[in-house]
Amino acid sequence: MDAGLQFDVAHLLAGGLVLVSFMLLYQDRMFGLLNVFALHAFVLALSVAWQAFIQDAPHLYVTAAIALLFKAVIIPVALHRIVLRLGIHRTLETVVGVGLTMLAGMGLVALSIVIMLPAAVDADPLAREDLAFALSVVLLGLLMMVTRRNAVSQVVGFMSMENGLILAATGAKGMPFVVEISVAFSILIAFIVIGIFLFRIRERFDTVDLQALEMFRGERS
Amino acid sequence: MNAIGSFALVAILAVPAAAAAILALLPGYRVTARLNIAASLFTFVIALALFTARPEPGRYLIVDDLNVVFIALNTFVAFTTSVFSASYIGHELETGRLTPVYLRFYHAMYQILMFAMNLALVANNIGLMWVAIELATLTTVLMVGIYRTPEALEAAWKYFILGSVGIALALFGTILVYLAAQAEVGEGMDAMAWSVLVTHAAAFDPGLLNLAFVFLLLGYGTKVGLAPLHAWLPDAHAEGPTPISAVLSGLLLNVALFALLRFKLLLAANAGALAPGPLMITMGLVSLVFASFMLYRRRDIKRMFAYSSIEHMGIITFAFGIGGPLANFAGLLHMTMHSLTKSAIFFGVGHIAQARGTQRIADIRGLTESHPMLGWGLVMGVVAIAGMPPLGIFMSEFLVVSSTFARQPLLALPLVAGLIIGFGALMLRLQGLVFGAPSGSRDTQVTASYVPMFAHLGLVLLAGVYLPAPLVAWFQNVAARLG
């Protein structure tokens, strides 16, 4: 296939992932957030599958399948249920306003382009620009974790960050399979842990709002 | 010779893993606690064999100059902590803070943690090392939350979120290192293997390597507990079971720092890469000075010693940042000494908190009168950690300060200031804790095992007076390679 087209499609998908990351930032409803996260994982799956195709690396299809099945379907559905059961499907409050968050997000994307592009002059352009996108996704996920107070949306922020990492790992040509599997696996473990935590938090406080937790500081005198 | 080495290498991973599986199934406190000790001791003895019979570097595992002493230290502290844990956990069961089901879980997690830390130390693959550190993080998160009090859950959650962010940044750094290596070594497994990376590091793209190191420093630095990424550390230390505090401070922080050292070796081998020194010096100094001031305002005894761990990790990072054979030597020595001393202090503190039924410093007074062994043990531990001669930490701190004076005299000022401020805080609190009239009516005696605490302190004292020549040679050898 034409090298230019390969490049363009890979770009389109990676850029799409950054765009969906921005969409995550301004979701103020629980279900909206989960739906957008499913979209995020779906775009990631497409992007990974495309990388598998152009790099001729069949094992990457497995990573794509994991992203599609596990992250775009199972996790959003499970979180959907948790949210329903806990009865927290009301509006989310964000710490900073939407406008400011978006501006900060744009700043982060600019930052990742500024530091990634000159750093990897020798690497092949596709890998380099893929990395810039991946770093943007990671930083946007981080931003989301910082600006949200709710445990569920922090978890979503964390998972979108993991998506960025997988994008970076697949963009690096021929990166050994061990790492991809382990990343997928660690997400699974992370999810189990989170599940346990949500359960326990619910048990103790009847809320998953972390603000309620922050009264307990251990150092009350 | 090599057959023994390879066997030992596999065994230090296989024994904890197998023990974890068995401990998860066995009921009964006495049996499992003893089995936990036995497994830890066995691992330690096998680890000693690695000194004499060193296996060939394999595809995934390696034993080299850098990690062999850390493996021994790791398994040794794991063993002594398991002895302490047996008496500590017995008391927790009696008071009902832990139920038998959780105890089973606790012992299994303890061995999985040992497995993960040993794996992180011997991994010959940066991806594998990352996985191991992630596993260690997850197990400690679960252990910190084991009491299920609101405070413990908050601490575990905070630790989990910050730890995951750190570990994610570290993975990004790992990917960048792979990219830098891939251009030289070619695609595939070789570009992630240590033994290959170090020999080819000179030809890597310096720009990528620099960027990778920034991410690795932030990522693994979170796990080391460097300010401003330290927020999880005091909570996790204060709210979890004390054996876990001892293992966290004594071992896990070291393992994360060890990972950083591995990458520092790569940068040192590449002429075009930036010197990692200034970054590490800044983070180290900030952690040291910040933690020293924070020591004054602590009301919780475990939290206070957690801040002291941040302080010492700052000193160590600073020493490696200064670089040069002497400062690196001091850094390695300080890592060893801090690991032994801090875990000894937590052994003491654990029993003290049990005897008094509180962790509030204000409610603990006159320990030397009511519990002479614990009280004087704590005195000795705090004197050691504050850096008084003739104990081991004095020696390593002295070396850090003098090498700083030799290389960057101006930086010695904030360093010494931080050390003195921290010293003052510890002495101030120590006086109230151990002297004066004993406080409280609940002066229950605990069945404590003093052996682990005094064994550690004895080693620290011994190291302060006399360091065995082979150990010195090892430290010097590694210090020279660290650049």
pLDDT in tens, B347-399: 999 998 888 888 888 888 888 888 888 899 999 999 999 988 888 899 999 99
pLDDT at B401: 94
Q: How far apart are CA B56 and CA B49, in angstroms?
A: 14
Give me the domain span that covers residue B421: 275-483
Distance of CA A139 to the CA centre of its chain: 10
Contact B179 A123 (CB under 8 A): yes
Q: Is A179 exposed, middle or buried (0-12, 13-18, 19+ CB in 10 A)?
A: buried
- Closest partner residue to B175 among A161, A172, A178, by Cβ? A172
Q: Which of B109, B125, B130, B161 to mutate to test the interface with A (most CBs of A within 10 A)?
A: B161
Residue A114 lies in a domain: yes
Residues of A in contact with B187 (CB under 8 A): 173-175
pLDDT at B442: 53
pLDDT bracket for residue B444 (50, 70, 90): low
Q: Is the bond preceding B228 in cis, omega lying within 30 degrees of 0?
A: yes
What average pLDDT is seen over chain A?
77
Closest CA to B308 of B332, B292, B297: B292
Between residues A103 and B134, the one the model is more confident about: A103
Between residues A181 and A119, the one the model is more confident about: A119
Residue B364 lies in a domain: yes
Percent of chain B topping pLDDT 90: 48
Closest CA to B291 of B382, B362, B227: B227
What average pLDDT is seen over chain B?
89
Residues of B in contact with A135 (CB under 8 A): 172
Residue A89 lies in a domain: yes
- Closest partner residue to A118 among B125, B188, B207, by Cβ? B207
Is the pLDDT assigned to residue A149 strictly greater than 60?
A: yes
Distance in Å, alpha carbon of A55 to nearest chain B alpha carbon: 12
Instruction: Report the chain A residue with the minimal C-alpha distance to residue B299.
Output: A219
Burial B389-419 (b: 16+ CB within 10 A, else e): eebbbbbbbebbbebbeeeeeebbeebeebb
Is the pLDDT assigned to residue A192 strictly greater than 60?
A: no
| Cβ within 8 Å of residue B12, ≥6 positions away | B43, B46, B47, B50, B71, B75, B118, B122
Residues of B in contact with A211 (CB under 8 A): none
DSSP string over A150-208:
BHHHHHHHHHHHHHHHHHHHHHSTT--HHHHHHHHHHHHHHHHHHHHHHHHHHHHHS--
- Count of domains observed in chain A: 1
B74: β partners: none
Residue A62 lies in a domain: yes
Q: What angle do CA A73, A77, A81 make, to 5 degrees?
A: 170
pLDDT digits (tens, 9 = 90+) for A25-65: 888 888 889 899 999 999 999 998 898 888 887 778 888 88
**Predicted structure pTM score:** 0.90
pLDDT at B147: 85
Between residues A84 and A12, the one the model is more confident about: A12
Q: Which two tokens stand for residue A164?
A: 């960025």
Instruction: Report the chain A residue with the minimal C-alpha distance to residue B145.
Output: A197
Residue B304 lies in a domain: yes
Average pLDDT over residues B208-236: 91
Q: How far apart are CA B432 and CA B423, in angstroms?
A: 15
pLDDT digits (tens, 9 = 90+) for B186-203: 887 888 888 889 889 888
Is the pLDDT assigned to residue B441 strictly greater than 80?
A: no
Contact A138 B168 (CB under 8 A): yes
Give me the domain span that covers residue A160: 3-213
Distance in Å, alpha carbon of B172 to nearest chain A alpha carbon: 6
Contact A214 B154 (CB under 8 A): yes
pLDDT digits (tens, 9 = 90+) for B139-189: 898 899 888 787 887 888 888 888 888 988 898 999 889 888 888 888 878
pLDDT digits (tens, 9 = 90+) for B471-480: 898 889 888 8
Closest CA to B343 of B88, B90, B98: B88
Instruction: Report the chain B residue with the minimal C-alpha distance to residue A156.
Output: B161
The DSSP secondary-structure symbol of A121 reads: S
Instruction: Give the count of Cβ contacts less than 8 A between chain A and B.
Output: 133
Is the pLDDT assigned to residue A180 strictly greater than 60?
A: no
Average pLDDT over residues A71-81: 81
pLDDT at A217: 47
Distance in Å, alpha carbon of A123 to nearest chain B alpha carbon: 7
DSSP collapsed to 3 states, chain B: CHHHHHHHHHHHHHHHHHHHHHHHHCCCHHHHHHHHHHHHHHHHHHHHHHHHCCCCCCCCECCCHHHHHHHHHHHHHHHHHHHHHHHHHHHHHHHCCCCHHHHHHHHHHHHHHHHHHHHHHHECEHHHHHHHHHHHHHHHHHHHHHHCCHHHHHHHHHHHHHHHHHHHHHHHHHHHHHHHHHHHHCCCHHHHEHHHHHHHHHHCCHHHHHHHHHHHHHHHHHHHCCCCCCCHHHHHHHHCCHHHHHHHHHHHHHHHHHHHHHHHHHHHHCCCCCCCHHHHHHHHHHHHHHHHHHHHHCCEHHHHHHHHHHHHHHHHHHHHHHCHHHHHHHHHHHHHHHHHHHHHHHHHHHHHHHHHCCCEHHHCCCHHHHCHHHHHHHHHHHHHHHCCCCCHHHHHHHHHHHHHHHHCHHHHHHHHHHHHHHHHHHHHHHHHHHCCCCCCCCCCCCCCCCHHHHHHHHHHHHHHHCCCHHHHHHHHHHHHHHC
Closest CA to B266 of B66, B69, B117, B71: B66
Is the pLDDT assigned to residue A220 strictly greater than 50?
A: no
Contact A120 B131 (CB under 8 A): no
Q: Which region holds residue B366: left if phi is over 0, alpha if psi is between -120 and 50, else beta?
A: left
Cβ pair B118, B16 in contact under 8 A: yes
Contact A178 B239 (CB under 8 A): no
Q: Which two tokens stand for residue B19?
A: 């023990």
A91: β partners: A29
| Cβ within 8 Å of residue A19, ≥6 positions away | none
Contact A205 B207 (CB under 8 A): no
Q: Is the bond preceding B409 in cis, omega lying within 30 degrees of 0?
A: no
pLDDT bracket for residue B333 (50, 70, 90): very high
- Count of domains observed in chain B: 1
Q: Which two tokens stand for residue A54?
A: 């152009």
pLDDT at A219: 46
Residue A221 lies in a domain: no
Instruction: Report the chain B residue with the minimal C-alpha distance to residue A198.
Output: B157
pLDDT at A205: 45
Percent of chain B topping pLDDT 70: 98
**Which stretch, A72-86, A192-206, B371-385, has highest mean pLDDT?**
B371-385
Contact A165 B172 (CB under 8 A): yes
Residue A200 lies in a domain: yes
Distance in Å, alpha carbon of A102 to nearest chain B alpha carbon: 21
pLDDT digits (tens, 9 = 90+) for B5-36: 888 889 999 999 999 999 988 887 888 899 99
Average pLDDT over residues A168-196: 64
**Which stretch, A116-125, B85-94, B97-106, B299-308, has highest mean pLDDT?**
B299-308
Distance in Å, alpha carbon of A97 to nearest chain B alpha carbon: 23
Is the pLDDT assigned to residue B276 strictly greater than 90?
A: no
